[in-house]
């Protein structure tokens, strides 16, 4: 049986992360499906190509579309397409003169579309991920697990269906919103229905190598792979690609 080609638009770029590593790893996972043809871009500028694609995937940090590009993304999802959004897609970063990192509300329509906006993260460390819904195909049969990663503390901007979560309380050192109440629920993976389409968001996936913090450390001595070291993360990614293909 001849499969119809599936055109994927992959937006991948950003600050302070090993984007090369994430790009290659995700392209390898997409290549496990021989019908997928992938266009790679650093941002959302080519709205015509995005609109023509069959599904969208993003792995970005501090990369937000313009209002005009956001309208195309809204139409894209509401028209019935799927979007796999990863790690820092929902992040906007602003470094203040006092050295703290802020997450300004500069793209509210984009964040409302995604269903969340990054606010802060504590130092990288272990945390337990609770499987909230083990009936959805994206998480079916999975059980709670512990992982080491950059825990994204976000504000919810729209109705979402949480599939996996963790709980946090304490200090997110270096961020404007640094103090978090005990037992704050933190979504790890969720679905966001939007019109006829849907977004699957997974906040895991931090990576950093020697040369990814040039403004702060010309040579970063301790590379980080975080969730990329764990088979469960690859299982989540593989399922999410099948979800986008409609074969899960």
For 74-101, how does the pLDDT look when each residue is reduced to its tens digit (9 = 90+)? 999 999 999 999 999 999 999 999 989 9
Radius of gyration of the chain (CA): 17
Query: What whole-number distance in Å separates Cα of residue 44 and Cα of residue 35?
Result: 23
Average pLDDT of the residues in 16-44: 98
Are 99 and 216 in contact, with CB atoms under 8 Å apart? no
The pLDDT assigned to 65 comes to 98
Residue 3 has pLDDT above 70, yes or no: yes
User: From the CB of residue 95, how many other CB atoms can be counted at a distance below 10 Å?
Assistant: 11
Considering the chain, what is the average pLDDT of its residues? 97
Give residues with Cβ within 8 angstroms of 17, minimum separation 6. 61, 87, 88, 206, 207, 208, 212
Predicted TM-score (pTM) of the model is 0.97
* Domain locations in the chain as residue ranges: 6-245
Which of 54, 111, 61, 58 is CA-nearest to residue 84? 58
Which of 122, 112, 111 is CA-nearest to residue 89? 111
Average pLDDT of the residues in 225-233: 98
Among the CATH numbers 3.40.50.2300, 3.40.50.300, 3.40.50.880, 2.40.10.10, which is that of 6-245? 3.40.50.880
Which of 124, 131, 136, 147 is CA-nearest to residue 224? 124
């Amino acid at each position: 049986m001849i499969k119809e080609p599936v055109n994927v638009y992959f937006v991948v770029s950003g600050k302070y992360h090993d984007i090369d590593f994430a790009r290659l790893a995700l392209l390898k996972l997409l290549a496990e499906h021989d019908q997928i043809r992938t266009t790679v871009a650093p941002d959302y500028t080519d709205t015509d190509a995005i609109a023509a694609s069959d599904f969208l995937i993003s792995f970005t940090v501090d990369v937000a579309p313009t209002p005009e590009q956001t309208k195309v993304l809204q139409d894209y999802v509401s028209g019935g397409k799927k979007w796999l959004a990863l790690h820092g897609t929902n992040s906007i970063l602003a470094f203040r003169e006092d050295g703290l990192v802020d997450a300004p509300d500069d793209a509210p329509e984009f964040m409302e579309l995604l269903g969340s906006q990054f606010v802060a993260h504590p130092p990288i460390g272990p945390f337990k991920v609770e499987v909230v819904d083990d009936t959805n195909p994206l998480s079916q049969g999975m059980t709670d697990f512990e992982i080491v990663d950059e825990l994204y503390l976000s504000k919810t901007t729209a109705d979402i269906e949480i599939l996996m979560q963790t709980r946090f309380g304490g200090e997110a050192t270096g961020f404007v919103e640094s103090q978090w109440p005990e037992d704050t629920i933190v979504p790890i993976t969720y679905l966001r229905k939007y019109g006829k389409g849907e977004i699957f968001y997974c906040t895991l996936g931090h990576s950093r190598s020697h040369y990814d913090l040039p403004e702060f450390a010309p040579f970063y001595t301790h590379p980080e792979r975080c969730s990329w070291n764990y088979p469960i993360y690859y299982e989540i990614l593989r399922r999410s690609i099948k979800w986008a293909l409609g074969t899960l």
